[in-house]
Amino acid sequence: MGDVANTEIIPAPRELSVVYNRADRIFRRIVTSGALTSLILLGLIGMFLFVKSAQIFNDRGLSFITGSNWTAGSGDGVIPDDFSIGPMLTGTILVAVIALILAMPLAIGGALYLEFYAPFRIRKILNALLDLAAAIPSLIFGLWGLAVFTSFGERWSILLNSRFGWIPFIKVQNEIFGRSPFVAGCVLASLIVPIITSVTREVFSRTPRDLIDTCYALGGSRWGAIRTVVLPFGRSGIIGGAMLGLGRALGETVAVYLLLNIVFRYNFRILESEGGNIASLIATKFGEATEYELKALIAAGFVLFMLTLIVNMLAATIVQKSTVRK
């Protein structure tokens, strides 16, 4: 009997195949073409920026990224051209990180309220307003920050300086708080909160209902279900929304241009009234740039392009690892 059992023929596993109809094939081709077109356009943009800025990187090398001077020469060689974006690159990252730190608690709290606490009618109204806020142009936020929020930002800055002025990155040399990275970061936070909230709420809404009901059945509270089920399930969405908001904050132009004094000096103090970012530098200098300075501005755009691309790649990696751990 044992020999018979050992020699029993095990049937080969069946191969499953999917047969697409004509509509499915057409749709797949359209979607694939759209995706490839996006990648091709992205590659062409990066190639264009690199080709146009190659002379700057060849002339300046790494000092273009680490230097702290932006001087347009006289054209006759008496005053040489000297272009570098070190302070602007630092300011770009600093303001974006401040905005992200301020926006994340508001976005997560707002998403949880909309999905689990708000009544149905209020939820519908707030969701519509949230989508509308995400589409407001950054110019509106910049003007609002300049006309309305600056006074509040100054008071908050004075309070921070008086309470935490002993911390190196908060301590200031000149107590002028109106146009600081902190104020610009607050305005950028209000700009990216709707985007992060919208993405996070959508991910929270896809939490399996049976897991939440199981938590309730075991005697858990609503907060217990959120803490043990919803937040772990939505971790990848939170990270993805945060990186999406960070990407927009890195490339923001008008709001930072209106709220920061562009000063080519490294500034790591968030309350100091000086700074700037790469996008606002390009917007400021582009109209009156010489031919060589224009290449330097394109090189600055290429650096910003690569910075945003790296952030997005890191975000995709983190989201993928976070999803695998679920």
At 259-285, the pLDDT tens digits run 887 888 888 888 888 778 888 888 888
Domain assignment present for 67: no
- Which residue, among 296, 285, 302, 301, has the nearest Cα to 55 in the 3D structure? 296
Q: For residue 203, how many C-alpha atoms fall within 13 Å in the half-sphere facing its CB? A: 24
Whole-number Å distance between alpha carbons of 259 and 250: 15
- The predicted pLDDT at position 101 comes to 92
**pLDDT tens column, 214-257:** 888 888 788 888 888 888 888 888 888 888 888 888 877 777 87
Q: Say if residues 271 and 172 touch (Cβ distance below 8 Å).
A: yes
Domain assignment present for 171: yes
**pLDDT tens column, 156-203:** 888 888 888 788 888 877 777 777 888 888 888 888 888 888 888 888
Q: Which residues pair with 275 in a beta bridge?
A: 262
Q: Say if residues 262 and 284 touch (Cβ distance below 8 Å).
A: yes
CATH number for the domain harbouring residue 316: 1.10.3720.10
Domain assignment present for 278: yes
Q: What's the average model confidence in pLDDT over 101-125?
A: 89
Whole-number Å distance between alpha carbons of 200 and 215: 21
Domain assignment present for 58: no
Domain assignment present for 57: no
Q: Which domain holds residue 107?
A: 82-324
Domain assignment present for 23: no
Q: Give the confidence band of 61 by pLDDT, cuts at 50, 70, 90.
A: confident
Is residue 76 over pLDDT 70? Answer: no
- The predicted pLDDT at position 44 comes to 92
Domain assignment present for 49: no
Q: Is the pTM of this model over 0.85?
A: no
Please name the amino acid found at residue 189.
A
Q: For residue 127, how many C-alpha atoms fall within 13 Å in the half-sphere facing its CB? A: 15
Domain assignment present for 126: yes
Overall number of domains in the chain:
1
